[in-house]
Amino acid sequence: MQHSRFPLTAVTQSRLGQVDFDNPGFGKIFGDHMFSMVYEDGAWSKAEIIPYQALAIEPGVAMLHYGQTVFDGYKAFRGEDGQARIFRPERNAARLHDSCQRLCIPIMPVDELTDIMIQATRELIELDHAWIPSQWGHSLYVRPLVIGTESTLEVRAANRYHFLIMTSPVGSYFTDLQNGVSLRVEDRFTRAASIGGLGAAKTAANYAASLLPGAQSKAQGFDQVLWLDSNEHRYVEEVGAMNIFFKIAGRVITPPLGGSILPGVVRDSALTLLRDWDIPVEERRLGIDEVIEAFASGELEEVFGAGTAAVICPVASIGYRDELYSIASAPPGELTLRLYNELTGIQYGKIEDRHHWNQCVTLPE
Ligand code: COI
């Protein structure tokens, strides 16, 4: 590898043979190597690339009890031109930084974190380049994780942390484009507090809160939960694994970032592309009653989600209070498909990257 910045301990035996590239699933198997860095005695140090391996953690580690853990996720795509393209990793670094701050994790300054994350990702990709799937729609998912590793039962920020970056070959998180997903509007539980909570942080608690309503949705035949705000259970928030967009009478509406929803990188990319195309876009609060009215009047044209794992995902139907609303143009609606094609075209290097979103890595032959 050229210009290696981090000390490397390479695997003696690759696990690549265990990967089912036709059916990679999502996060079922992890790349041979991972990045590791430690915070102790008030400083981050010991940055290195080592074989993917189990962590030695005491059961008394506070993170296991009180949830001081944050993560993020971005993808690298294999282009036919021999380049891997990492999609907007600097946005994920900035978000990881914000998540750490919200969880009281003493993260390094954002510029330093961005530099380390991108360089570590580049080195992991070069090293484990054979792990990047070549099938369209498949990619190498990159998962940074920061966890408190101090053993204590006191409820306070830990004084030791582990920062890891692992990779995993993945397929599409949801169903294929032709089927779309079904969402159940959750009007009893909430994902995150409307004001002052953890909703904008990518932290385990938000995902733990989603498990019971998620399981209840599955039991009723739905794929995912559509969350409403915690104050009134009226305004649409997000889906948990993706942000949500509604096309109503020619205008695309998505909930605004206000601290309760995740500031999605693909959400931002979709908004940018829509604005490029002069499609009217509104980032505003949208009541579920407005969605139902638009459905009744025939003005609800398309619904889609946007997320790193989910890409651009058509929504085929929405269940709300014993009624099922099937979206007329799904799956996928015309605009949903246009966005999907443009975004994936940029990610795989087939369409000009006008906004300089990709970070390219030339892969070894
Ligand atoms: C991502 O899109 O990267 C996510 O983190 C969603 C994941 C929790 C499935």
Residue 180 beta carbon below 6 angstroms from any ligand 1 atom: no
Q: How far is the CA of 7 from the centre of ligand 1 (A)?
A: 29
Residue 73 beta carbon below 6 angstroms from any ligand 1 atom: yes
Specify whether 182 is located in the same domain as 163. no
Specify whether 139 is located in the same domain as 201. no
> Is 200 part of a structural domain of the chain?
yes
Q: How far is the CA of 308 from the centre of ligand 1 (A)?
A: 6
Specify whether 316 is located in the same domain as 245. yes
Q: What is the CA radius of gyration of the chain?
A: 21
Residue 240 beta carbon below 6 angstroms from any ligand 1 atom: no
Q: How far is the CA of 309 from the centre of ligand 1 (A)?
A: 5
Buried b (16+ CB within 10 A) or exposed e, 269-305: bbbebbeeeebebeeeebebebbbebbeeeebbbbbb
| Distance separating alpha carbons of residues 215 and 252, to the nearest angstrom | 30
Specify whether 65 is located in the same domain as 201. no
Note the pLDDT tens digit of each residue in 169-211: 999 888 678 889 999 999 999 999 999 999 999 999 999 999 9
Which residue has 């638009």 as its token pair? Answer: 294
What pLDDT, on the 0 to 100 scale, is given for residue 127? 97
Specify whether 257 is located in the same domain as 312. yes
- Number of folded domains that form the chain: 2
Specify whether 51 is located in the same domain as 84. yes
Specify whether 342 is located in the same domain as 256. yes
Residue 177 beta carbon below 6 angstroms from any ligand 1 atom: no
Residue 311 beta carbon below 6 angstroms from any ligand 1 atom: no
Residue nearest to atom 5 of ligand 1 (CA): 73
| Distance separating alpha carbons of residues 113 and 90, to the nearest angstrom | 9
| Distance separating alpha carbons of residues 348 and 363, to the nearest angstrom | 14
Residue 214 beta carbon below 6 angstroms from any ligand 1 atom: no
CATH number of the domain where residue 290 is located: 3.20.10.10
* Structural domain ending residue among the three candidates 171, 193, 224: 171
Cβ contacts of 291-295, under 8 Å, gap ≥ 24: 291/236, 291/246, 291/248, 291/318, 292/320, 292/325, 294/246, 294/248, 294/249, 295/325, 295/327
* Structural domain ending residue among the three candidates 171, 200, 216: 171
> Is 281 part of a structural domain of the chain?
yes
In the three-class reduction of DSSP (H, G, I as helix; E, B as strand; rest coil), residue 123 is classed as helix
Residue 308 beta carbon below 6 angstroms from any ligand 1 atom: yes
> Is 4 part of a structural domain of the chain?
no
What pLDDT, on the 0 to 100 scale, is given for residue 4? 87
What pLDDT, on the 0 to 100 scale, is given for residue 240? 84
Specify whether 258 is located in the same domain as 181. yes
Which positions of the chain have pLDDT values less than 50?
none
Domain that holds residue 316: 177-347
Residue nearest to atom 3 of ligand 1 (CA): 73
> Is 337 part of a structural domain of the chain?
yes
> Is 361 part of a structural domain of the chain?
no
Residue 241 beta carbon below 6 angstroms from any ligand 1 atom: yes
What pLDDT, on the 0 to 100 scale, is given for residue 1? 60
What is the token pair recorded at 129?
A: 């380049």
Residue 307 beta carbon below 6 angstroms from any ligand 1 atom: yes
CATH number of the domain where residue 66 is located: 3.30.470.10
Specify whether 287 is located in the same domain as 254. yes
Residue nearest to atom 6 of ligand 1 (CA): 241
Specify whether 188 is located in the same domain as 58. no
What pLDDT, on the 0 to 100 scale, is given for residue 192? 95
Residue 309 beta carbon below 6 angstroms from any ligand 1 atom: yes
> Is 100 part of a structural domain of the chain?
yes
Peptide bond into 331 cis (omega under 30): yes
Strand 83-87 and strand 74-78: the pairing is: antiparallel
Write out the H or E segment, with its range, that includes residue 283: strand 281-283
Is-contact 72 191, C-beta < 8 A?
no
Specify whether 308 is located in the same domain as 274. yes
> What's the DSSP call for residue 235?
B
Tell me the whole-structure pTM to 2 decimals. Answer: 0.97
Residue 305 beta carbon below 6 angstroms from any ligand 1 atom: no
What pLDDT, on the 0 to 100 scale, is given for residue 330? 65
Task: Return the bridge partners of 281, or none.
Answer: 252
Atom of ligand 1 nearest to the CA of 309: 2
Atom of ligand 1 nearest to the CA of 27: 9
Specify whether 50 is located in the same domain as 69. yes
* Structural domain ending residue among the three candidates 171, 203, 235: 171
Chain-centroid distance, C-alpha 337: 20
Note the pLDDT tens digit of each residue in 245-301: 999 999 999 999 999 999 999 999 999 999 999 999 999 999 999 999 999 999 999
| Distance separating alpha carbons of residues 312 and 34, to the nearest angstrom | 28
Residue 306 beta carbon below 6 angstroms from any ligand 1 atom: no
What pLDDT, on the 0 to 100 scale, is given for residue 178? 84
Atom of ligand 1 nearest to the CA of 73: 3
**How many other CB atoms are there within 10 angstroms of residue 8's CB atom?**
14
